[in-house]
Amino acid sequence: MHKDIVNIPKEKFEFAQRDISLHDEKLKTKSRGYLADAFLRFKKNRSSVVAAFIIGVLILFSIFAPIISPYNVKKDKDNTYKNLPPFVEPISNLGIGIFDGSTVRDSQNELQIQMLEAIGVETGRSPIIGHPKEVYYTEIYRGQEVERVSYSVKVNRYYEIGCRFIVMSADEFKKIMAWQDETGIQVLYPYVENKNIYVDLEEGQSVPTQRNSNIWYQCVDTKGNAKLDGNGNFIPAYSTDKSKEGVEYTSSLRIPGDDGSYIYSYAKSGSVEVRVNYYNYYQYLNGRTPMYIFGTDDYGRDLFDAIGMGARFSLIFAIVVSAINLTIGAIYGAIQGYYGGYIDLVMDRIADILSGVPYIVVVTLFQLHLAQKVGVVPSFLFAFVLTGWIGMAALTRKQFYRFKGQEYVLAAKTLGSSDKRLMFKHIFPNSLGTIITSCVLVIPGVISSETSLTYLGIINLSNLVGTSIGELMSISQTAMTTSPHAMLYPSLYVSLLLISFNLFGNGLRDAFNPSTRGVED
């Protein structure tokens, strides 16, 4: 080995770059700043990018949903259209199975199917979608197995309402007649009395006192089984007693078969009772057909508009709370971290005392006492801010301890920079990325707390905002089995919002500080 080194040929020791000037090569790519580099790392996190897109869509929904919706969550409430599924008539008429206001009713008997058919015959809008399916089952009757049949039927909940009895003034009745003639849409239907429905009762049976506004045909018994003519058609039971007529019916619109003998109003003291096709009556009241993209809630409000209004408040409130907590926490934590010593010790103990106060107790006390003086929202905001800044202060304090001993800070201090300049011109900007991403992660926490408090009824925002996501979920829980959409859409919105904000915040944290990638706080 030693001989090989000694006998290296001389020509191998020639200069490789003789008479050539050496210098650094120019960068072939553009330089990137801190934010550009963070953005590039953020784009590589696909889940965070998708979460950012979802957040953008949800924010746009909260902005534009109340604008697009023709309804007002505070004013437009319909006690008849409560907890009804999504319905848009033009889409429903396509027969594609969406936005058709439908629900499936199981275990229906022949009498119930018959009534649904009768509603379609009278109003021209059949509630039955498709064909009822027969379901056969057996049961024990008087010790023997008996085969029974029931029906499963898909019905339109809006058409199913059919006609309703309504008491109104004579002037209102005349206005409806005029509107009918102008639009060609019939609202008023002939009046029905029970004595005309149950005409063939057996001896000893009395006419029922309870009325059903959708039984307009003759029945053979008090159960409501229809009496059909020779062709299998319903036999009308409309009242023709002119002595009981409230206001003379002068409209040109009449149901088929009306020769002018039917009465359309029943005299009451100072008013009249009428039968109205509620779907058409809704058009008379609102100037449009019912259109509920997300359906309605327990108060008969448009869920599309209600979720938008509630989400708008939640987002604005969460951002305001986060901004205030960021400001207070940054200043408080900066003083702690920069000066340290006894100042840090005293301020830290103050934060410990405040953090030990039960949050739910603070909110409840503020709502019981402070809300009466300053209002619900300021009181609610103060409850969140009272202890919400503590986490931000602790994070800022940690960042100041980390950076205050760096060379650039010592150099600036040597050159005569004031404490204020050192804190907010040199140290704070370097820790801003971590603080901002933590602030983003605070937003879903505020939204979750606000939703929980309104859901429990501790906070009531209906008078101010109209509604909130928590309130919508609270009032819909009683109708979850019959109207699951009323709980589905609000809970889906808040779930997507919370999950997306957490993924987005984690992506920002990893982008601004790659060393924390995959590390949970």
The answer on pLDDT for 15 being more than 70 is no
Which of 253, 271, 292 lies at the terminal end of a domain, its last residue? 292
The CATH number given to whatever domain includes residue 503 is 1.10.3720.10
Query: pLDDT tens, 462-489?
Result: 777 788 888 899 888 888 888 889 999 9
Which of 160, 194, 211 lies at the terminal end of a domain, its last residue? 160
Does 253 fall in a domain?
A: yes
Looking at the structure, tell me whether residues 131 and 206 fall in a common domain: no
Does 222 fall in a domain?
A: yes
- As a whole number of angstroms, the distance between CA 45 and CA 133 comes to 50
Looking at the structure, tell me whether residues 324 and 408 fall in a common domain: yes
Does 36 fall in a domain?
A: no
Residue 504: CB atoms within 10 Å = 26
Query: pLDDT tens, 387-397?
Result: 888 888 888 88
Does 3 fall in a domain?
A: no
- pLDDT value of position 114: 92
Does 46 fall in a domain?
A: no
- As a whole number of angstroms, the distance between CA 300 and CA 83 comes to 7
Give me the chain's average pLDDT, please. Answer: 86
Looking at the structure, tell me whether residues 270 and 344 fall in a common domain: no
Contact 195, 299 (CB under 8 A): no
- As a whole number of angstroms, the distance between CA 442 and CA 428 comes to 19
Assign residue 274 a region (left: φ > 0; alpha: ψ between -120 and 50; beta: otherwise).
beta
Looking at the structure, tell me whether residues 429 and 502 fall in a common domain: yes
Looking at the structure, tell me whether residues 278 and 390 fall in a common domain: no
| 3-state secondary structure string across 15-51 | CCCCCCCCCCCCCCCCCCCHHHHHHHHHHHCHHHHHH
Residue 290: band (very low, low, confident or very high) from pLDDT cuts 50, 70, 90:
very high
Does 312 fall in a domain?
A: yes
Query: pLDDT tens, 25-70?
Result: 666 666 667 677 778 888 888 899 999 999 999 999 999 999 999 9
Looking at the structure, tell me whether residues 104 and 198 fall in a common domain: no
The answer on pLDDT for 3 being more than 60 is no
Looking at the structure, tell me whether residues 154 and 182 fall in a common domain: no
Looking at the structure, tell me whether residues 363 and 504 fall in a common domain: yes
Query: pLDDT tens, 115-132?
Result: 999 999 999 999 999 888
22 half-sphere exposure, CB direction, 13 A CA radius: 3
Contact 452, 444 (CB under 8 A): no
Query: pLDDT tens, 314-349?
Result: 999 999 998 898 889 888 988 988 888 899 899 989
Which of 272, 292, 312 lies at the terminal end of a domain, its last residue? 292
Looking at the structure, tell me whether residues 378 and 263 fall in a common domain: no
The answer on pLDDT for 173 being more than 90 is yes
Looking at the structure, tell me whether residues 192 and 338 fall in a common domain: no
Does 137 fall in a domain?
A: yes
- As a whole number of angstroms, the distance between CA 218 and CA 193 comes to 11
- pLDDT value of position 521: 46
Query: pLDDT tens, 361-375?
Result: 888 888 777 777 777
Side chain identity, residue 100: D
- pLDDT value of position 165: 94
**Mean pLDDT to the nearest integer, 185-209:** 85
Alpha carbon of 31 to those of 35, 36, 294, 375: distances in Å?
12, 9, 50, 53
Looking at the structure, tell me whether residues 288 and 308 fall in a common domain: no
Looking at the structure, tell me whether residues 399 and 252 fall in a common domain: no
- pLDDT value of position 187: 95
- Percent of the chain at pLDDT exceeding 90: 37
Side chain identity, residue 99: F
Q: Provide DSSP, 345-376.
A: HHHHHHHHHHHTS-HHHHHHHIIIIIHHHH-H
Count of domains forming the chain: 3
Q: Which domain holds residue 494?
A: 51-65+300-516
Regarding predicted confidence, which is higher, 437 or 103?
103
Does 251 fall in a domain?
A: yes
The answer on pLDDT for 403 being more than 60 is yes
Residue 154: CB atoms within 10 Å = 17
**Nearest-5° angle of CA 220, CA 226, CA 231?**
115
- pLDDT value of position 256: 87
